[in-house]
Structure 1
Amino acid sequence: MSGQKIEVVVVGAGQAGVALSEHLTERGIPHLVLERHRIAERWRSERWDSLVANGPVWHDRFPGLEFPDLEPGAFASKEQVADYFVAYAEKIGAPIRCGVEVTAVRRNVGGSGFRVETSDGDLDAQYVVAATGPFQRPVLPAVVPQSAELVQIHSNSYRNPQQLPEGAVLVVGAGSSGVQIAAEIQRSGRQVYLSVGPHDRPPRSYRGHDFVWWLGVLGKWDASTPPLGAEHVTIAVSGANGGHTVDFRELAEDGITLVGRTQSFDGGTVHFGQDLRANIANGDANYLGVLDEADAYVERNGLDLPEEPEARRQRPDPDSVINPILELDLADAGVASVVWATGYAVDYSWLEIDAFDERGRPRHQRGVSTEPGVYFLGLPWQSRRGSSFIWGVWHDAKYVADQIEIQRGYRAHHEAANLVGTASV
């Protein structure tokens, strides 16, 4: 591959890279997608065994292909999702090179475009798209030292309860990953402590429609920025076991002990915040707010949808909420492992350009970088709330492809003008 020149290099062949390839192909823009592993590799090797997508397949897909052999309301397994992207790449004839890692991208000094260094040689590109997504570097908070006598893993390394040592488990993080992992471990017969932070808690379904439909008709997917102070609030929703609304009180009834945010560790004891009740209450308010807006939408539009009064019935607060545990001696409680479901950070160390803020986050507008010729794709809130979903990244990819096409037009005009000028000399 050394010495090759290509118009656009796309780094990453997950959902973002595959989507962009379709839009670039439709515009006749030459490009190459480089993937260090397999297509959609993170779905296969960096997720737990029982993971399913959080949205039903009628919604979480690209427009050009349905999930085979699944009912519209089903939730695809992680392998089915990965297979879907492989099939989609084959369908559109995406020019993907697997097993090629991009190690550095630098602007060509004194020339146009970029030098792309890879494990298979160097090449030059006029435009570069970082389509590596948001799940690049697992975040492991520096709370419990690695010297502590217990197993600590991030959710990206968790596969099933059998990989954990015997004993109780502390799961930190109550978004979609945390609640599903905690419930699975509890069902295996372990005692589980679940550390619950701030979260949104939408209903899985209401009055006959999944929450993805409600967020669509209520215009919430198109919100361009997160609410102030809620940039990193997780969403507690589950597609597991056919999909269900996450209810922390129900998890407590099943035997999980709820605790507040994990704050510190000393002498073998973990200290939790006093925010558990507030976090549960704020999640309830989010849940009930969606129901209120849905009811108003039904009335306003005269829809014949079945009423669902039981959706507003709440279980009583468990003892772990009424009398919260503020500290836990791990040895006394028999806790032998901690699963950190604490999210991810981006890692663009290979992209050696001036397009990042002081925290290493991309500076961009809807994926258009502050560094001319560089684009980002697959970021949360890239253009709207729906950007993190499969269908959302497809629409973001269309916009990025449009911007590349516009810049190619300017470049073509410049080159044509130079040719005319040269011919007239």
Structure 2
Amino acid sequence: MTAGNIEIDTLVVGAGQAGVAMSEHLSKLGIPHLVLERSRIAEAWRSGRWDSLVANGPAWHDRFPGLAFDDLSPDGFAGKERVADYFEAYARKFNAPVRTGVEVRKVERNVGRPGFTVQTSEGVIHANRVVAATGPFQRPVIPAIAPKDERLTQIHSAQYRNPRQLPEGAVLVVGAGSSGTQIADELQRAGREVYLSVGQHDRPPRSYRNRDFCWWLGVLGEWDQAAMKPGREHVTIAVSGAHGGRTVDFRELAQRGMKLVGVTGSFNDGVVNFQPDLADNLARGDENYLAVLDAADAYIERNGLDLPPEPEARRVFPDAECISQPIVQLDLAEAGVTTIVWATGFASDYSWMQVDAFDAKGKPAHQRGVSTESGIYFLGLPWQSRRGSSFIWGVWHDAKYVADHIAIQRSYLDYRDAADRQAEQGVSPVATALGQSAVSA
């Protein structure tokens, strides 16, 4: 891409898993399009994750339908670099029109004519439609309670790479979703003393009765849930593919020496206060875990499946001291804590989109990715159409829906009335009408 004005039917912003999936479906439908990526294809997998990260789902599940991980066991878990390579190979597979190193800076609706004017780092693009495929992980969020203490190293999980980058000393990890839990586990395995702040969470079994949890949630219809259950908006999921894939069990982590604490409440003069909710949060996570086992057992019995029983899956580790006698205050200096890792999620950033496609809170206003602003689309959002939208395979199916919608809109705009079509073919509408009358007579 070079500087200057370019006209295109559909512009896709972002060449991660969402952008690559979008391009595939647009290509199949013959829709002219261009994909712009400010860095490299799937860059977030390479530079926006820690070194040891692997996919949270097995290779047979966390992929697009058109290409398998031929160098991995179907039940294995791909490392982050392998995942990034996968998307690059997938884009090459259908010759995706991706331009890397181009940043989209502003999108504005045209006045008095269709489409949008897009300002980029390499010139102006005029597009009839724009798909924001930048995903949900755009701006790392560190909450306002973070202490202003120069003695502490504080980083977001997006900046964490490995234990060696942190100063010597104990670490407080705030947030016990998949990222926080895996980072805390890695730090403990590296010999660090770790405090893990645990909030509300789901923790499905990594596998049960010889089937991965991704399979169970599929056959049980959980991936197809269309909306999050009320009150579960801030519930994270604790699951990991690390070390060959193991169920996250916070009681086991505590037995290994990790100090579990409740939700981080406030900091005051070097002392952090935790809410007294650890036991309740663990109990609710256990309920979720056992509910999946119960549903799986019922499914097996109902369908007569020959899957081996797994009674040890219901074994409960005894409560460590940090659970039976919860820590509600911690003097960071006395505890030797020198680092806080904030595994507290991300916020979206659509400041570059100067269009009427957002609600009062700045979130995309859409239905299954089709925006309230005609010609604007979103892809890669959590719960975009279903629970499974956050997974690699889920975004592929969401992209198909969005591409089909674009194709339908193009067909309407291609409409020509009878007079226009006949004029294009050199046929007089009057002569045609007379001919029809003669036939009728």
Give yes or no for TM over 0.5.
Answer: yes
Does the Cα contact within 8 Å between 2:131 and 2:379 map onto a contact in 1?
Answer: yes
Q: Which residue is equivalent to 2:330?
A: 328
Match of 1:285 among 284, 287, 292: 287
CA offsets, 1:232-256, max 9 Å, x none?
3111011000000000011011111
Aligned to 1:51: 53
Mapping of residues 162-311 of structure 1, within 5 Å: 162-311=164-313
Instruction: State the aligned residue count.
Output: 425
1:15 to 8, 14, 17: 17
Q: Equivalents in 2 of 1:294, 1:6: separation in Å?
A: 49
Compute the displacement of 1:149 (Å): 1.8
Give the C-alpha shift of residue 355 in structure 1. 1.1
Q: How does 1:350-389 map to 2 (within 5 A)?
A: 350-389=352-391
- 1:205-244 CA-to-partner distances (Å, cap 9, x unmatched) read 0000000000000000000001111123111011000000
Given that residues 171 and 178 in structure 1 are in contact (C-alpha distance below 8 angstroms), is that contact kept between their aligned partners in structure 2?
Answer: yes
Task: Give the aligned partner of residue 412 of structure 2.
Answer: 410
Write the deviation string for residues 155-181 of structure 1: whole angstroms up to 9, x where unpaired.
Answer: 000000000011100000101111110
- CA gap of 1:128–1:417, structure 2 versus 1, over 3 A, is farther
SS at match of 2:353: coil
Aligned partners of 2:417 and 2:15: how far apart in 1? 32
Displacement of 1:14 in angstroms is 0.2
Is the 1:7–1:29 Cα contact (8 Å) retained in structure 2?
yes
Change (3 A) 1:418 1:357: farther
Select 1:340's aligned residue among 339, 342, 358. Answer: 342
Q: In structure 2, the residue corresponding to 1:180 is in which secondary structure?
A: helix
Confirm whether residue 66 of structure 1 aligns to residue 68 of structure 2.
yes
Q: CA deviation at 1:359?
A: 1.8
Task: Say if 1:414 and 1:364 are closer, same or farther in 2 by CA, change over 3 A.
Answer: farther
Matched residue, 2:40: 38
User: SS at the partner of 2:415?
Assistant: helix
TM-score, normalized by length of structure 1? 0.98
* 1:52-131 mapped onto 2 (5 Å cutoff): 52-131=54-133
1:417 CA drift (Å): 7.2
Amino acid at match of 1:277: A
Q: Which runs of 5+ in 1 are unaligned?
A: none
1:414-425 to 2 correspondences below 5 Å: none
User: Kindly tell me: are residues 146 and 420 of structure 1, through their superposed partners in 2, closer, same or farther at Cα, counting changes over 3 Å?
Assistant: farther
Distance across 1 between alignment mates of 2:259 and 2:57:
27
Give 3-state SS (helix, strand or coil) of 2:330's partner: strand
Q: Secondary structure at the match of 1:299?
A: helix
SS in 2 for 1:181: helix
1:4-31 per-residue CA deviation (whole Å, 9 max, x = no partner) reads 1000000000000000100000000000
Partner residue in 2 for 1:29:
31
Please say which of residues 163-172 and 352-361 is displaced more in the overlay: 352-361
Q: Cα offset for 1:418? A: 6.5
* 1:141 partner amino acid: P
Q: 1:151 to 1:25 in 2, by over 3 A?
A: same
Aligned residue type for 2:138:
Q
Amino acid in structure 1 at the alignment position of 2:245: G
Distance 1:82 1:216 in 2: 25
Q: Percent of aligned positions with the same letter in both sequences?
A: 69
Q: Alpha carbon RMSD of aligned pairs, Å?
A: 1.5
One-letter amino acid matched to 1:56 = P
Q: Is the 8 A contact 1:54 1:237 kept in 2?
A: yes
* 2:402 aligned partner, one-letter code: V
Secondary structure of 1:311 counterpart: helix
How far has the Cα of 1:118 moved from its partner? 0.2
One of 143, 146, 152 as aligned partner of 2:145: 143
Residue pair 1:148, 1:268 contacting (<8 A) in 2 also: no
One-letter code of the match for 1:153? I
C-alpha distance in 1 between matches for 2:327 and 2:417: 69
Aligned equivalents of 1:59, 1:90: Cα separation in 2: 21
How high is the TM-score relative to the length of structure 2? Answer: 0.94
Aligned to 2:436: none
Residue 415 (structure 1) shift: 8.6
**Whole-angstrom distance in 1 between the partners of 2:290 and 2:419:** 61
The Cα of 1:360 is off from its aligned counterpart by: 1.3
Residue number in structure 1 paired with 2:316: 314
Equivalent residue for 1:349?
351
Aligned 8 A contact 2:200 2:234 in 1: no
When residues 264 and 419 of structure 1 are mapped into structure 2, their CA distance, relative to the original with a 3 A threshold, is farther
CA contact (8 A) 2:59 2:69 kept: yes
Q: Which has the larger radius of gyration?
A: 2
CA deviation map 1:87-115 (0-9, x unaligned) = 00000110000000000000011110000
> Which consecutive aligned stretches of 4+ in structure 1 deviate over 6 angstroms post-superposition?
415-425
CA drift of 1:347 comes to 0.5
Rounded to whole Å, the distance in 1 between the matches of 2:256 and 2:65 is 39
**Per-residue Cα deviation, 1:331-365 (whole angstroms, up to 9, x for no partner):** 11110000011111110000111111122110000
